[in-house]
Structure 1
Amino acid sequence: MDSFFNLSKLFWFFARPDHFLVWMLLLGLFSLWVGWRRLGIGLLVGDLVLLLCIMLMPLGDALMMPLESRFPQPDRNLKVDGIIVLGGGELAEESVYWHQPQINQAGERLMLIPVLAHQFPKAKILFSGGSGSVLRPEFKGGDVAKAYLDSAGLSGRVLIERDSRNTHENAINTIKLLGGVPKGNWLLVTSAYHMPRSIGIFRRQGWELTPYPVDYYALSDDGLHLAPGLWNNLSEIEIALREWVGLLAYYLSGKTSQLLPGPLPAPESEAL
């Protein structure tokens, strides 16, 4: 597991879109310096064209929409026995520095817990999230969640799992903390783009959960419309591309049984 975790972080350091644009720029400048004029100019022009396109259009929608639309919202009248909330929306180091819980764009995962606790007062709730950082693993999302839930008066209601470094470990550690796969209907709360991989991982462990997707990004199928904003558009591409790479890596390593997990077919009685 350590090798998978470390290799995945190393690969993404070089492959993430913002870094890739920097590598293109550096390689273009190096090519000009050593006299490879045609290659250098091609790389620099390509880099500039990509930046302009990303600055003007939310091209990440084309990658994001198939992920976010994969699972529908659950029936709000479902009987719910338990709720699993995956971390990823916490800014753990910033929370320690400023002495209060800090969240990022995926903070809706954590913020939804009080709502669900009120909506399903008898359901068990478990938050799973540690640190995905190689450089600063001591700062954990579970600690941020605990501080937030304590302030919301829910400290005794929610179990906290704080050792997971990725989604596969979320599933393994959650099942271990619960003493095995529990019976009943459990919700899985995570970002909509992250739901296919998450469901696939828990499904591989023999646990079929009801998806409760949150934190949506895409507003179109292809992103071919004007919406200026370099940082926002590049961030969406990075998040979506990382998720597609994660889906492929988890499928090839046997952590999921499908490349793009989706809803199970309805039973024949329901289909009729």
Structure 2
Amino acid sequence: MKFLLDLLFRVLQLFTEPYFLVFLAVVIIALLRRKNKSKKWRIGILITTVLMIIFIGNGFLGKLTSAYLQKNYLHTPEMKAAAVQNPIIVVLGGGVVDIDHTEKVHTMSYSRMVTAYQLYHEYQKKNQPCTILISGKGRGHISEAELFREDFKKMGVPDSDIIKEDKSMNTYQNAKFSSEILKKMGNTSLYLVTSGFHMKRSVALFKTFGLKPIPQASDFIDTEITVFPNSYNAAFTFVMLKEVVGIWQVQLYNSLGVNK
């Protein structure tokens, strides 16, 4: 059953890819023309595709999606070291880039790194224990967790305060493997650091594995309402739409009890 659901959502996610939508429209128009269907149908599909591109590219849909994903995390609790005793700060990786055979963490990862360090520093100022758990393998030769660890060490975080979870390849595995580590430690008090658009799904998955993370969004994305469509609005809108589909998937899987 899970295999079929995974396949269904893989297909559904195709509809958040701009090239697929254009390709689909072209194929449908070509098939209608070949079968000598009404010209009105072909024109209708073409107009619908153009309007959809405008609606996505002018930032309007992006604004709605951005609010749905991020508004609950705009005003996160102030970083006070006394709020949680002996916490784990779980930082989710944002990907690895390989340029000229040199691997670096993705640009969005740096905001997560800074947010995690700021929170860690608040505890250090009060001489209170705090640990950073870095979650992510990535697709490079060096894991995201290891690249994060190297940068945290440059910031002055000792190895003794860093835990690497370097097996996970997606958010589901981030939550699953991190929860296994936390439960072995007997500590489920945690802050969860990731991007704002990614937080809703991440929190839902960590709750799936019995954890109650305190969200600390590191960055936010939004679109700008414009008269003419542009690639900036389209790119971020499609990113956020894919995240919405991911949230639906988590909710359905949880309701069916197939997410563990």
Which letter maps to 1:47? T
Residues 164 and 256 of structure 1: is their aligned pair in 2 closer, same or farther, counting only changes over 3 Å? farther
CA contact (8 A) 2:204 2:250 kept: no
Q: What's the CA shift for 1:64?
A: 1.8
**SS of match in other structure, 1:47:** helix
| Range with bigger deviation, 43-52 or 29-38 | 29-38
Aligned to 2:55: 53
Residues 124 and 65 of structure 1: is their aligned pair in 2 closer, same or farther, counting only changes over 3 Å? same
1:123 is aligned to 2:143: no
Which letter maps to 1:86? L
% same residue: 20
Aligned to 1:212: 216
Paired residues for 1:52-131 under 5 Å: 52-71=54-73, 72-79=75-82, 80=84, 81-87=87-93, 89-90=94-95, 92=96, 94-95=97-98, 97-105=100-108, 107-121=110-124, 122-131=129-138
Aligned to 1:158: 162
Which is richer in helix?
2
Residues 176 and 227 of structure 1: is their aligned pair in 2 closer, same or farther, counting only changes over 3 Å? farther
Aligned to 1:26: 27
CA contact (8 A) 1:187 1:212 kept: yes
Which letter maps to 1:209? P
**SS of match in other structure, 1:208:** coil
Aligned to 2:14: 14
Which runs of no fewer than 5 residues in structure 2 stay unpaired? Answer: none
Q: Provide the C-alpha distance between the structure 1 equivalents of 2:165 and 2:250, rounded to a whole number of angstroms.
A: 22
Residues 256 and 202 of structure 1: is their aligned pair in 2 closer, same or farther, counting only changes over 3 Å? farther
1:148 to 148, 151, 164: 151
CA RMSD in angstroms comes to: 3.3
**SS of match in other structure, 2:104:** coil
**SS of match in other structure, 1:165:** coil
Which letter maps to 1:247? I
Q: Provide the C-alpha distance between the structure 1 equivalents of 2:4 and 2:164, rounded to a whole number of angstroms.
A: 24
Q: TM-score, normalised by structure 1?
A: 0.75
Q: Provide the C-alpha distance between the structure 2 equivalents of 1:138 and 1:32, rounded to a whole number of angstroms.
A: 49
Aligned to 2:40: 38
Q: TM-score, normalised by structure 2?
A: 0.77
CA contact (8 A) 2:54 2:229 kept: no
**SS of match in other structure, 2:238:** helix
**SS of match in other structure, 1:120:** helix
1:167 is aligned to 2:171: yes
